[in-house]
Amino acid sequence: MSRRCELTAKGPLVGHKVSHSNIKTKRRFLPNLCNVTFISDALGRNVRLRVSTNAIKSVDHRGGLDAFLIKAKADVLSPRALELKRAIEKKLPKVEFVKKAAKASWV
């Protein structure tokens, strides 16, 4: 299993561990990944994903998994999350997009 977030594509970074004597040694900074069960209202089921804690906060901020996946770019998502995004877009009515256009006209 790769150490990569399925929603935000955060992965390991490389840097140096610096000792007190300033000796630099290579090290990896791993993302803080958690196995989380999200509830999809559009699909009517639970979805288990391996995501970073930052992604959990982003999903809550955007108003749930469905809203997060609709706004997410396809090149960032994992293949499994991309399948979920397509399934959610099929289930949701086109009224959602009309509401967004109506809000934009008021501004």
Residue 96, pLDDT > 90, answer: no
Task: Give the pLDDT mean for 26-50.
Answer: 95
Task: Give the pLDDT mean for 4-8.
Answer: 95
Residue 94 to residue 89: CA distance in whole angstroms: 9
The total of other beta-carbon atoms located within 10 Å of residue 49's CB is: 21
Residue 102, pLDDT > 90, answer: no
What was the pLDDT predicted at 93?
74
Query: Taking the model in full, what pTM does it have?
Result: 0.77
Helices (H), 63-94: 65-71, 79-91
What was the pLDDT predicted at 99?
58
Task: Give the pLDDT mean for 48-76.
Answer: 94
Q: What is the CA radius of gyration of the chain?
A: 18
| Cβ-contact 62, 68 below 8 angstroms | yes
